[in-house]
Structure 1
Amino acid sequence: MKTPRGQEVEFWEPRKRENRSKPWELRWRVDDRVKSKSFKTKALAQNREKALHAAARDGEAFDPVTCEPVSWLRSAETFFAHAIAFTQARWVDSAPKTRSNRSEMLMRLILAHVDAKKVKKTPAPASDLAVRRAIVNYGLSFTVAENASGQRTAEPRKRPAEVARILAWVESVSRPVAELGDLDTVTDVVDATGAKLVGKGRCSPTTMRNRRKILRACLQHAVARGIIASNPLMGVRFQQTRKELAVNPHTTPDLEQVQRILGAVVASPVARDRRLVAFFGIAALTGMRPGELRALRADEVTWPQHMPKGSRPGWGRLTASSSRADIGELWTDDGGRVQARELKQRGEDEVRPIPLPPEGAALLRWHLDEFGAAPDGRLFSLEEGDDVHGDVYRRAWERARKTALTDDELTRGVGKRVYDLRHCHASTLINVGVPTTEIARRLGHSVEVLLTTYVHWFTHLEDEANALIDQVFADHGPITGHLLSPAPEPPETPSSEAQ
């Protein structure tokens, strides 16, 4: 018979073959390809034949390889296979850090949606760590290639034999993605990912929120592919945990603590650390992100003497135009460790001007006199123009912290991350009363993000608010004082004896 889609489909009567565990064979043809499938009973073979007939009459497309309706294949597709398709579809347009985070979160979701009976019957061929690494580094990681028309595409990485064996096992125990069309099943999967990989306890609310966000997008892709009818997570609101987004003021260094740490960097016995003094200093003086500092070029510095007339004396300007993400060769387009990107949450050609205080200008002059710029003009680099990799500056920072901070400050985690220099800068501007819009502009994010992230620092407005409220109460008069005057004494009641 010819289907409404123009495919030729032909069926043969089920036939019995002796001495087989599944003796009944159904054979059918789609165009020039013949396919067969065996069953234990004749009734099962006939049922499959009827289903194939119905699909052909309804005009469904048949897959040229499996010779089964495409819709059948989609309904049986595993969550692992769909996660690969979802990741591949978004790979080219994603930033390296986004690629890494997405793959890590999907790995946890994949392992939470496996068939426990199959896992028990066929245990993993490698350790848990090896399975996780195989999924993230090969199953959910791609290389970027360019086809003949100039279009960039994501291509699977070449898998070593051992990795291929592990991923084949993951595919064999992964449950169908179609099962995630039910909200209760989705909730169970998300809850199952709550345990920490290392140590005891549950993941933070922020981590769980991000996993739900990734799963919601992944299931929406399943809807687009026709695997599930609707996304059960669309429209479902989960409780947001604001405090998880806020920066802890007890761990953010103040200017005096930063001064001590930078002094320890200057005096470090490791000669390379001196190349990082200006890197750390500019981060504290301008609030720039490490990736932005890594990409900053000498020609993006406007020195104080070149500023427009009327500018604040001694102040210059930095123009951030890009960021260099140090994420690793698995997540970059060209397989290198660092990839240049546009500024965070900005278009490809957008820039962000950042005021440079006089101390910052002097620090950059010293840095250029001492070390010069990299061959491509970048201000901060290691020997021979290498990028300032994260592991290098983190080790230098930690050495300086242990030298400069007290035991109590170390125990509290003061300045534990280099990124805390950005928080130090933001908190300084807030505490001296710089308008929130100007702080947000300098840091390169919205006022809403500023208020949420640095909510604990806006205490400098408290006294001003109290003064305004004092005036309101003074003008109105007390609202409770007249109600709280001593109550009149009750009249004495003659005692029975007096009577």
Structure 2
Amino acid sequence: MTTSYKVKFWGIRTNTRPQGVGKKPRIVSHTVRWTVDNREKSSTFKTKGLAESFLSDLRQAARNGEAFDPESGLPGSMVKAKDTRTWYSLAVSYVHAWWPHAAAKTREGMTDSLAYITPVLTGDVSGRPDDEEIRRTLLEYSFVPEDRRPPPSPKVLKVVRWLEAASLPLSALEDPKHTRAALEAISLRLDGKAAAASTYRRKRAVFHQVLEYAVELGELSANPIHKVKFRKVKSTGEIDRRSVVSPEQARRLLVAVTYAGRTRGPMMAAMFACMYFAGLRPAEAAGLREANCGLPATGWGVLTLETTRPESNTRYTDSGEANDERGLKHRGRKATRRVPIPPELVAVLREHIDRYGVAEDGRLFRTRSGKSFPGSTVSMVWKQARMYAFTPDQVASPLAGRPYDLRHAAVSLWLNAGVHAPEVAERAGHGVDVLLRVYAKCIDGQHETANKRIMEALTT
């Protein structure tokens, strides 16, 4: 291989696409440019972070005195790495590249998906550890940034060495059987039963993105997932109508919550009320502050939502706590959403503040120590409330099976009350198209209206 030490680097070029008259061009990619022996080279990346990381690697190689290959434009170490890159190495690289740009729940879903796929994409190498050991090592060590990794035990190091030796080279994924094996793995749960369609779709998206990352880096010529005809029943995302409670059932549940524990239930009651009367997501309720609440003495009030506090494993959060503070779902970091609330919820929130006060940062719902309620505790209180409020048959049914179902009941109520879809979507924080697709089966009166119109047509 002919090599050269004559290397020159240029700045990163930002590539944009026009958005129309008067609109700011949209950034679509970033191109790293350099020359080797006066031959121009370039590599394009979707994010500026990836481009900067790649350019940094090139410059580091040049500073270390490495010779560059004029054909590929890469230093010798990177040429070798490209030829020997394994799936395990790619997956680790992908996680580390995207970690800073992802929310805690996204990190958790990403690493969980890769922990299903990685053990499958291995060869027949002796000394294979137990599958549970492999999964635990991936989640707790390999798929965590180096500065967050715990000191590795001898068992962890043994698993890592086996993965490095057994992981298939990326070139093996050109054979559809390996890609199919990975898709089969994510279509099943750990107990071997079929995974939900939405779970499969989420994990497949991660697999697809990692393979696209390999294509972007030039380590695969094309995404091999497109060659495999593997289909799973699509999930519409529609709400199960059987889970939606009536206003009377919802109020009964909210009362029952106050009987779940000496203090836990009463301190959570207003939080559940926000999910039902304002249609808040649990993470939105957890982030609600007194400053966000307009609570007049009479009449309707308003909640101005601006933050959420989703719960995740502390391994994935930036704060090291179970709840990171984030912006509203599917909106910009500083975006807000106004939700008018009925007098009944205004009274509930005023009473809650008078009785329990607020946290140091103004949050309404927190434990005695000031932290957000753990999801396991919320689920436990909700389970008890259902047992107090429902008959045995209702307890065994999907009716309000999760606290989130209170939000579904709220949105269904608004639609059935005749509130226009755009207004409901604005209050719920949905797009109109998503709203109508998700809640299609929860809108009453459609059959009767359709029958009436058909009858009129038949008798005309």
TM-score by length of 1: 0.75
Q: Secondary structure at the match of 2:118?
A: helix
**Distance of 2:89 and 2:277 partners within structure 1:** 48
Identity of aligned residues (%): 28
Q: What pairs up with 1:85-164 in 2 under 5 angstroms?
A: 85-115=93-123, 117-118=124-125, 121-124=126-129, 127-142=130-145, 155=147, 157-161=149-153, 162-164=155-157
Q: CA deviation at 1:272?
A: 2.1
**Distance of 2:317 and 2:224 partners within structure 1:** 33
Farther off after superposition, 428-437 or 182-191 = 182-191
Q: Does 1:461 align with 2:446?
A: yes
**1:203 corresponds to which of 195, 199, 207:** 195
**2:351 corresponds to which of 366, 373, 382:** 366
Q: CA deviation at 1:130?
A: 2.9
**1:317 corresponds to which of 302, 310, 319:** 302
Q: CA deviation at 1:346?
A: 0.3
Q: Which residue of 2 aligns with 1:281?
A: 273
Q: Does 1:412 align with 2:397?
A: yes
| Paired residue type of 1:285 | F
Q: CA deviation at 1:193?
A: 3.1
Q: Does 1:294 align with 2:294?
A: no
| Maintained 8 Å contact 1:324/1:339 | yes
Any stretches of 5+ residues in structure 1 without a counterpart? 8-29, 35-51, 65-69, 144-154, 306-312, 476-499
Q: Which residue of 1 aligns with 2:339?
A: 354
Farther off after superposition, 403-412 or 276-285 = 403-412
Farther off after superposition, 462-471 or 385-394 = 462-471
Q: Secondary structure at the match of 2:443?
A: helix
The higher radius of gyration belongs to 1
Q: Secondary structure at the match of 1:171?
A: helix
Q: Which residue of 1 aligns with 2:86?
A: 78
Q: What pairs up with 1:187-202 in 2 under 5 angstroms?
A: 187-198=180-191, 200-202=192-194
Q: CA deviation at 1:184?
A: 4.7
Flag as ranges the 4+ runs of structure 1 deviating above 4 A: 30-34, 55-60, 234-244
**Distance of 1:296 and 1:32 partners within structure 2:** 51
Q: Which residue of 1 aligns with 2:369?
A: 384
**Distance of 1:408 and 1:469 partners within structure 2:** 37
| Paired residue type of 1:186 | T
**1:248 corresponds to which of 206, 227, 240:** 240
| Paired residue type of 2:270 | A
**Distance of 2:252 and 2:383 partners within structure 1:** 13
**Distance of 1:108 and 1:335 partners within structure 2:** 25
Q: Does 1:223 align with 2:215?
A: yes
* CA distance 1:57–1:382, shift in 2 (3 Å): closer
Q: Which residue of 1 aligns with 2:252?
A: 260
| Paired residue type of 1:409 | Q
| Paired residue type of 1:136 | L
**Distance of 1:61 and 1:404 partners within structure 2:** 67
| Paired residue type of 2:410 | H
**Distance of 2:116 and 2:92 partners within structure 1:** 13
**Distance of 2:290 and 2:116 partners within structure 1:** 43
* CA distance 1:163–1:473, shift in 2 (3 Å): same
Q: Which residue of 1 aligns with 2:412?
A: 427
Q: Does 1:445 align with 2:430?
A: yes
Q: Secondary structure at the match of 2:310?
A: strand
Q: Which residue of 2 aligns with 1:343?
A: 328
**2:165 corresponds to which of 165, 172, 180:** 172
Q: Which residue of 2 aligns with 1:271?
A: 263
1:221-260 Cα offsets, whole Å, 9 max, x none, are 0011221111133598976745551111112333222222
Q: Secondary structure at the match of 2:162?
A: helix
Q: Secondary structure at the match of 2:324?
A: strand
Q: Secondary structure at the match of 1:318?
A: strand
Any stretches of 5+ residues in structure 2 without a counterpart? 8-60
TM-score by length of 2: 0.81
| Maintained 8 Å contact 2:174/2:224 | yes
Q: Secondary structure at the match of 2:304?
A: strand
Q: Does 1:3 align with 2:8?
A: no
| Paired residue type of 2:436 | L
**Distance of 1:31 and 1:473 partners within structure 2:** 81
| Maintained 8 Å contact 2:358/2:364 | yes
| Paired residue type of 1:79 | W
**1:402 corresponds to which of 387, 394, 401:** 387
* CA distance 1:469–1:376, shift in 2 (3 Å): same
Q: What pairs up with 1:59-74 in 2 under 5 angstroms?
A: 61-64=74-77, 70-74=78-82
**Distance of 1:398 and 1:381 partners within structure 2:** 19
Q: CA deviation at 1:3?
A: 1.8
1:395-439 Cα offsets, whole Å, 9 max, x none, are 111111122221111211322211111111112122222222111
**Distance of 1:268 and 1:393 partners within structure 2:** 10
* CA distance 1:214–1:33, shift in 2 (3 Å): closer
Q: Secondary structure at the match of 1:335?
A: coil
| Paired residue type of 2:237 | L
Q: Secondary structure at the match of 2:309?
A: strand
Q: Secondary structure at the match of 1:452?
A: helix
1:28-47 Cα offsets, whole Å, 9 max, x none, are xx99999xxxxxxxxxxxxx
Farther off after superposition, 82-91 or 446-455 = 446-455
**Distance of 1:446 and 1:57 partners within structure 2:** 50
| Maintained 8 Å contact 1:303/1:317 | yes
| Maintained 8 Å contact 2:300/2:346 | yes
| Maintained 8 Å contact 1:5/1:61 | no
| Maintained 8 Å contact 1:183/1:232 | yes
